[in-house]
Structure 1
Amino acid sequence: MAEIRTTPDSYGEALDRASRSVIASMTRGLAPSVLVNAATDWAMHIAAAPGKRAELAELALHGAAKLAGSALAGGEAPTPDRRFAAPQWNKPPFAAMRDAFLLTEDWWQAATTGLRGMAPMHEAALSFAVRQGLDVLSPSNIPFLNPEVLEKTLETGGENLRQGTANFMQDLARLAHPAPPEDPALRIGEGLAATPGKVVARTHLMELIQYSPTTELVHPEPVLIVPAWIMKYYILDLSAQNSLVRWLVAQGCTVFMISWRNPGSEDRELGMADYLEQGPKAALAAVQAITGAERIHAAGYCLGGTLLAIAAAGMAREGDERLASLTLFAAQVDFSEAGELALFISEAQVALLEDMMWHQGYLDSDQMSGAFTLLRSQDMIWSRMVHEYMMGETPHANDLMTWNADTTRMPYRMHSEYLRGLFLENRLSNGKFELDSHKISLTDLRLPILAVGTETDHVAPWKSVFKIQRLTETETTFILTSGGHNAGIVSEPGHPRRHYRIATTGRDETFLDAEDWRAAQAPVEGSWWPAWAGWLAARSGPQVKPPPMGKQRGGYPVLGDAPGSYILQR
């Protein structure tokens, strides 16, 4: 992996970085050269493809004929597209506008894909960019072309537009002056992140929370959870009814959680080694000293799972057998198929982000969220704009929305190392990732592994998460659950319309392709949480009395009540 330099070598380099940081601030961290290269590649290949152009011309004629026939028939049947789900879209002239737009989308999808000779990365980037551009022009997003908005405006005498303007101004005010939620149920330590516990260890980068037992007996192997360093940990401790932590404690588990620090410009030099040393390694030492347990179940969420897998592989290389099992929630160890998020990770993109971080010492949460927002633009941008700003609907905040808005930063060195070492060079899955000056390999892992993938994950596609089975030489259990990257993990028992698939693959069993695996497993209705708790229990010893909260004599006194202080950092 290339050395990460946080200071420029020369005046010229400093000037170049300053210039690129200005560009990055204007584009929210997205590299313009990526789209320019993709468009150039497409233009050159489409110019040399008369057959493709003829097919596109034929497709356009068929589309025009279909549109004319639909108009003469008085409109088409309802479309499954959620943007046009309202019955008003089935009446003229709105049906014609809808159909023309959808046919245009289909034409551009055909025009930007399947072009022989075009680089796959360029094809994916251009197709994505065209979809985003067309979304802007969707008639559903234009007030005077949207029949729902027009009908609402007539019914309310324009009150919806007045209320929508007020909603927009309130959102702007919140961006300028963030304030805690008015609802106590959405405040940290009251309704959110409120599972009782104590902070029992602290490093510069993390606080370790030990949760209070609620059962008379517990499994002797505690559970250590490592969340991603790019998020607040309480995605796993939301409201009482959907807190994974609270539920796990009630199953007789002693649970510890890492709460990451929100870094500032002074932390720009902190890298992957620092996060490993002050995060999982420090936490494991504390958990073992407090509980006296010989073995510990470790679980990691998203990039926290990636970090934990790196730590586990390093421990395996050194013969450290303290881990009883490894659980990965929507966490990748192979980034070769990282889904549409990979469109934002290229040499040009990473270089631009590095220059932006070089200027301020960290990647800001708003800058980091741009790519994730674009991946789900229909849900996170356009749908919200229609309902809140055009229809004048007042949004009702919930725990997941509150957490999603409570973002964090990432220090320069750490973010650069993870983007280059994992996303760009995919060193972990190739056995080239260095830890303590030695390369580590996931094939050294011999402990049982459970990985959870979610069906509609845009951040860690489930087929990418599934690859853990062929990258290790141990027993692996895979769970594929309904939902997305967050909602699929926060899937408490009793949640409606949930299902999952589960199967265990032995070390010597024949590997199955992801789609073959899914076809072979029947869906199970309900939450996957009980299946995970049963998996942990099957790999734990007979229950014992709960350990003390902290251990003064062991060097881990109670430092305060959960959720601690790091979670409150802005």
Structure 2
Amino acid sequence: MKNEKHSNPLLSAESLASFGPVDIETLARNMGRAVEEGGKALAAYLRPREDGRVKSDISEEVADAVNSIGHLAQYWLSDPQRALQAQTSLASGFMSLWASSLQRMAGEDAKPVAEPDPKDARFRDPEWSQNQYFDLLKQAYLITSRWAEKLVHDADGLEPRMRHKADFYVRQVSAAISPSNFIATNPSLIRDTLAENGENLVRGLEMLKEDIDAGEGELKIRQSDTSKFEVGVNLATTPGKVVFRNATMELLQYTPTTSSVLKRPILICPPWINKFYVLDLTPEKSFIKWCVDQGLTVFVISWVNPDEKQRNKGFFEYMKEGPIAALDEIGKITGEKEVSAIGYCVGGTLLAVTLAWLAAKGDTRITSATLFATQVDFEKAGDLKVFADEDHIQWIEKMMAEHGYFPGSKMAAAFNMLRSQELIWPYLVNNYMRGKQPTPFDLLYWNADATRMPEKNHSFYLRNCYLENNLTRGRMVVGDETLDLKKVTIPIYELATREDHIAPPNSVFTGAQAFGGPVRYVLSGSGHIAGVVNPPARKKYQYWLGGPPTGRYEDWLEAATEHPGSWWPDWLTWLKKQAPEEVPADKRKPGGRRKPLGDAPGSYVRVKS
């Protein structure tokens, strides 16, 4: 039967009319303005390179991608039978697409050869299916990208590290070449451009120039409307004081809101690759405020945003001047000899290192620990290992040697690449082609508030953790101690998040088995941030409990029990069982008898990279 709905030729007058009326004179004028703004954006990119402010470029990263994909191509082309198999597979897909397209042009029903994942937001516009031109582009892209990903999946003879890198870069290229990313091949972009007579492109290129200027010659993609947020005003507003400061961190203590508090205080050690206020966003999302409201005495480390003065501070200095110094101060302020500690991401890795170091010294001040999305075993560390082979680390070390630190923008870009289809390309399209400001989003504002990493610390971390995996192998040396996690026998609450791209849950599961004491392994829904920052009142996501982390992660997960909502109450119950004794809250005035140095969130967190 003929299908009249599909009988129009490609890009017919009817299809073009659906994009709306066009004012040719205004469109032409705006195209000229867009070219002018594009020239300004290009100048903003070139100027810091011409005057020497920006010396590095992306040649090393491009070379690594080309080399990795080249190894994949060599694997398939080195065997004529394999090469023929690969070519036949792709040709078969396009032959089927051509046959389907001919059927559709004849007005007949034709089943799509390739359909996007229902969750893929790139192709939700009806024109991607109703218009033959765009449907053909969409299916050709899906056939090609899936074929390339299958080449990686089937490259069994490729060295595992190279195969992993090829897989990562193939996914990056696949995300980049999507027809949804270009004006001429995206129906909604064509519609917007014609409807606005090109005004969207003028705005977008103005924003592009602004974002290159903000990145001092590098594109700093805006993911949130930054004008709507300010740290200490509507972010990081939980009342508290700065009670200690050294060259590496400020120690914050929060004001009690209950009549009594748990006798044993808690110390939170956040990652230094981001700022601590991910745990103190708006009051409704703040883990710190929730803890205070549950009757906990909360201390938090706020790391310095380092510059060249901190270049020689390594893991040992961060441990001594971070959690160890914080323990000393907490003892002086509260008089307590026992502390519960929390570590998040690399802050959790540092906490685990600290626990092993303290165990070696016979120091028992930390009596229970909680690790949020923390790796101590890096064998299954996921896509970040792409950036941690010997060649890449040497390139990073060369870059750091210029200024004494690793730029926060580089780390932010690496994290964004882990989810480029969500954190890069939608913003490039929305900001610079549609000309729309991103909506205000506290979490993405925090994500863009990047920090630098000291040269010695970052090099130690990359080599000892990602490259050599020394901590769980008993080969990491910090200060004067060779660390052994089996000597850490205190109770540990180990939280992993199911969709984590930074600390994959199976990697966290493997690391949880390295400790010598009881571990409560808990798996939260969502990812590295949303799976942790999940207040009970929001009633979002879920968590799984399945007993101690033994055996294989997949077997543990299959047998685990799912619980609705946030894991926070489960953690609080666990924490209170460790030490249920309470004291009057008036004994926990921030700073104790000493005068505080200022109000929370302090000064270090306000320093921009």
What is the TM-score with the length of structure 2 in the denominator?
0.84
Aligned to 1:205: 248
Q: Secondary structure, in 3 states, of the residue corresponding to 2:538?
A: coil
Q: Is the Cα contact below 8 Å between 1:475 and 1:504 reproduced in 2? A: no
Q: Secondary structure, in 3 states, of the residue corresponding to 2:348?
A: helix
Matched, 1:187 2:230: yes
Q: Match for 1:568: what amino acid?
A: R
Q: Match for 1:191: what amino acid?
A: N
Q: Is the Cα contact below 8 Å between 1:199 and 1:559 reproduced in 2? A: yes
More moved, 378-387 vs 162-171: 162-171
Aligned to 1:17: none
Question: Relative to 1, partners in 2 of residues 1:76 and 1:246: Cα closer, same or farther, differing over 3 Å?
Answer: farther
> Any stretches of 5+ residues in structure 1 without a counterpart?
1-20
Q: Match for 1:161: what amino acid?
A: L
Q: Is the Cα contact below 8 Å between 2:315 and 2:478 reproduced in 1? A: no
Question: Relative to 1, partners in 2 of residues 1:247 and 1:116: Cα closer, same or farther, differing over 3 Å?
Answer: closer
Counterpart-to-counterpart distance in 2, 1:159 and 1:497:
39
Matched, 1:68 2:110: no
Counterpart-to-counterpart distance in 1, 2:99 and 2:116:
16
Deviation string 1:471-509 (CA, Å, 9 cap, x unpaired) is 12221111211222122211112335411112442xxxx
Matched, 1:448 2:491: yes
From 238, 262, 268, the equivalent of 1:219 is: 262
Aligned to 2:24: none
Matched, 1:27 2:67: no
Q: Is the Cα contact below 8 Å between 1:76 and 1:95 reproduced in 2? A: no
Q: Secondary structure, in 3 states, of the residue corresponding to 1:98?
A: helix
Aligned to 2:506: 463
**Aligned pairs for 1:97-496 within 5 A:** 97-176=137-216, 186-495=229-538
Q: Is the Cα contact below 8 Å between 1:450 and 1:479 reproduced in 2? A: yes
- Deviation, 1:325, is 1.0
Counterpart-to-counterpart distance in 2, 1:142 and 1:550:
55
Counterpart-to-counterpart distance in 2, 1:528 and 1:407:
28
Q: Match for 1:218: what amino acid?
A: V
Question: Relative to 1, partners in 2 of residues 1:183 and 1:42: Cα closer, same or farther, differing over 3 Å?
Answer: closer
From 37, 40, 57, the equivalent of 2:87 is: 57
Question: Relative to 1, partners in 2 of residues 1:378 and 1:496: Cα closer, same or farther, differing over 3 Å?
Answer: farther
Identity of aligned residues (%): 37
Aligned to 1:83: 122
Q: Is the Cα contact below 8 Å between 1:31 and 1:348 reproduced in 2? A: no
Taking only aligned residues, the RMSD between alpha carbons, in angstroms, comes to: 2.5
Matched, 1:531 2:570: yes
Q: Match for 1:522: what amino acid?
A: T
Q: Which has the higher contact order (CA 8 A, sep 6+)?
A: 1
Deviation string 1:452-472 (CA, Å, 9 cap, x unpaired) is 111221111111111233212
Question: Relative to 1, partners in 2 of residues 1:42 and 1:161: Cα closer, same or farther, differing over 3 Å?
Answer: closer
Deviation string 1:506-558 (CA, Å, 9 cap, x unpaired) is xxxx82311111111222111111111121112122222123334566xx541
Specify the structure having the higher radius of gyration (Cα): 2
More moved, 493-502 vs 359-368: 493-502
Counterpart-to-counterpart distance in 1, 2:536 and 2:156:
48
More moved, 265-274 vs 250-259: 265-274
Q: Is the Cα contact below 8 Å between 2:334 and 2:588 reproduced in 1? A: yes
- Deviation, 1:326, is 0.8
Question: Relative to 1, partners in 2 of residues 1:543 and 1:403: Cα closer, same or farther, differing over 3 Å?
Answer: same
> Any stretches of 5+ residues in structure 2 without a counterpart?
1-51, 105-109
Deviation string 1:313-345 (CA, Å, 9 cap, x unpaired) is 111222222222111111100111110110111
Q: Secondary structure, in 3 states, of the residue corresponding to 1:494?
A: helix
Q: Secondary structure, in 3 states, of the residue corresponding to 1:306?
A: helix
Q: Is the Cα contact below 8 Å between 1:31 and 1:352 reproduced in 2? A: no
Q: Match for 1:79: what amino acid?
A: P
Counterpart-to-counterpart distance in 1, 2:581 and 2:411:
45
Q: Is the Cα contact below 8 Å between 2:225 and 2:438 reproduced in 1? A: no
Give the number of aligned pairs.
542
Q: Secondary structure, in 3 states, of the residue corresponding to 1:471?
A: coil
Matched, 1:559 2:602: no
Counterpart-to-counterpart distance in 1, 2:68 and 2:439:
40
What is the TM-score with the length of structure 1 in the denominator?
0.90
Q: Is the Cα contact below 8 Å between 1:298 and 1:323 reproduced in 2? A: yes
Q: Secondary structure, in 3 states, of the residue corresponding to 2:260?
A: coil
Aligned to 2:136: 96
- Deviation, 1:363, is 0.8
Counterpart-to-counterpart distance in 1, 2:213 and 2:478:
45
Deviation string 1:217-269 (CA, Å, 9 cap, x unpaired) is 11111110001111111111111110110011001110000000111112211
Aligned to 1:3: none
Q: Secondary structure, in 3 states, of the residue corresponding to 1:218?
A: strand
Deviation string 1:50-106 (CA, Å, 9 cap, x unpaired) is 332232123123202321243245365652233212222112111111000000011
Question: Relative to 1, partners in 2 of residues 1:182 and 1:146: Cα closer, same or farther, differing over 3 Å?
Answer: closer
Q: Match for 2:536: what amino acid?
A: P
Counterpart-to-counterpart distance in 1, 2:364 and 2:142:
56
Q: Secondary structure, in 3 states, of the residue corresponding to 1:393?
A: coil
Counterpart-to-counterpart distance in 1, 2:53 and 2:381:
28
- Deviation, 1:449, is 0.7
Q: Is the Cα contact below 8 Å between 2:76 and 2:86 reproduced in 1? A: no
Counterpart-to-counterpart distance in 2, 1:23 and 1:37:
25
Counterpart-to-counterpart distance in 2, 1:539 and 1:37:
52
Q: Match for 2:572: what amino acid?
A: A
Question: Relative to 1, partners in 2 of residues 1:420 and 1:387: Cα closer, same or farther, differing over 3 Å?
Answer: same
